[in-house]
Amino acid sequence: MGDRRYRQRGYQDSGDREPREKRPGKKPETFGPRMLSMPGKREVIRCASCATILPPGLDLNGKCLRCGSELHSCKMCTYFDTSARWECTQPIKERTPRKDAHNKCTLFMVRSTIERETSTAKPLDARAAFENLFKK
């Protein structure tokens, strides 16, 4: 033991351990990529005021189904940016004073986001979810 350079346990032991491949109870390591089990993605449009997911095909000249705010407004636009000149990244001729009011902007493009689908189960009402807690 005095001839070892380092005196830590385990460094250059005298070969009393078996190699990793031959140890009982250990799985052999597999090579290659793992199977991906990532959740799916979906494109959604959310209301800028209440963050409700709007159904596809909803008329954007109308109002939000939950809070009643205008959908064709600067706040719902892709180009809305509070740090840009007149709060729009596109070249516009005049400033729109109210960003949550309905406007007739020709550059309007609704803002949509890509979200992950976190659950595959359909959402249940509160009573059904409560009853599922105590099922056997």
- pLDDT value of residue 14: 61
Distance between CA atoms of residues 125 and 35, nearest Å: 34
Task: Look at residue 76 and tell me whether its pLDDT is greater than 70.
Answer: yes
Q: What is the pTM of this model?
A: 0.55
Alpha-carbon gap, residue 105 to 90, rounded angstroms: 11
pLDDT at 3 over 60: no
Determine the 3-state secondary structure of 1 from DSSP.
coil
User: What would the mean pLDDT of 117-123 be, rounded to a whole number?
Assistant: 66
Cα angle at 24 between 23 and 29, to 5 degrees? 65
Question: What integer pLDDT is reported at residue 58 of this predicted model?
Answer: 85
Contact in structure between 26 and 20 (CB atoms under 8 Å)? yes
Element (H, E) at 133: helix 126-133
Taking the domains of the chain in order of start, what are their residue ranges?
40-115
Residue type, 103: N
Helix (H, G, I), strand (E, B), or coil: what is residue 30? coil
Span 80-116, pLDDT tens digits = 988 888 989 998 888 888 888 998 888 889 999 888 8
* pLDDT digits 0-9 by tens, 18-53: 555 555 565 656 677 777 777 788 889 999 888 888
Phi, psi of 43 (to 5 degrees): -100, 125
Instruction: Categorize the per-residue pLDDT at 133 as very low, low, confident or very high, splitting at 50, 70 and 90.
Output: confident
Q: What integer pLDDT is reported at residue 28 of this predicted model? A: 59
What is the per-residue pLDDT for 127? 81
